[in-house]
């Protein structure tokens, strides 16, 4: 299953709302997760199974969608949110597959 993320780069300011998209080449039901990755650090699980926030993840992060189209929304960007975001499917694995990433940068 191929995951395609858009946009490749998103330029926003702190306080803005961010909307990141992930489209699957075939249905993954609800089995989609989102990760945040900063350079030199461990990736961090944000959302799993479309809309479940992982432990310790702030409420400003939310996920939605089903089937082939999914969205990660950050309601009001904090300075620490600027990073690369990846979606990942577990509907039909192995293999586990990731999207190519969306870079969220400060405008």
Partner 1 sequence: IQLVESGGGVVQPGRSLRLSCVASGFTLSNYGMYWLRQAPGKGLEWVAVIWYDGSNEYYTDSVKGRFTISRDNSKNTLYLQMNSLRTEDTAVYFCARDLETFGGIIATLDFWGPGTLVTVSS
> Residues near 66 by Cβ (< 8 Å), separated by ≥ 6?
29, 30, 50
Site string for partner 1, 48-87 (x = CB under 8 A): xx----xx------------------------------x-
Assess 44 for contact with partner 1 (CB under 8 A): yes
Tokens 């080449």 sit on residue = 25
Q: Record the tokens describing residue 50, joined without a space.
A: 């479309």
The one among 93, 105, 106, 107 contacting partner 1 by CB under 8 A: 93
Quote the least distance from Cβ 102 to partner 1, whole Å. 10
Q: Are 70 and 6 in contact (CB under 8 A)?
A: no
Q: By CB under 8 A, is residue 42 in contact with partner 1?
A: yes
């Amino acid at each position: 299953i191929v995951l395609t993320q858009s946009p490749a780069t998103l330029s926003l300011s702190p306080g803005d709302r961010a909307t990141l998209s992930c489209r699957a080449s075939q249905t993954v039901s609800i089995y989609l997760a989102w990760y945040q990755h900063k350079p030199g650090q461990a990736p961090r699980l944000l959302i799993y199974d479309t809309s479940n926030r992982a432990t310790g993840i702030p409420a400003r992060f939310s996920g939605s969608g089903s089937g082939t189209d999914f969205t990660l929304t950050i309601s009001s960007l904090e300075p620490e949110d600027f990073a690369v975001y990846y979606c990942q499917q577990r509907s039909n694995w192995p293999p586990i597959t990731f999207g190519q990433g969306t870079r969220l940068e400060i405008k």
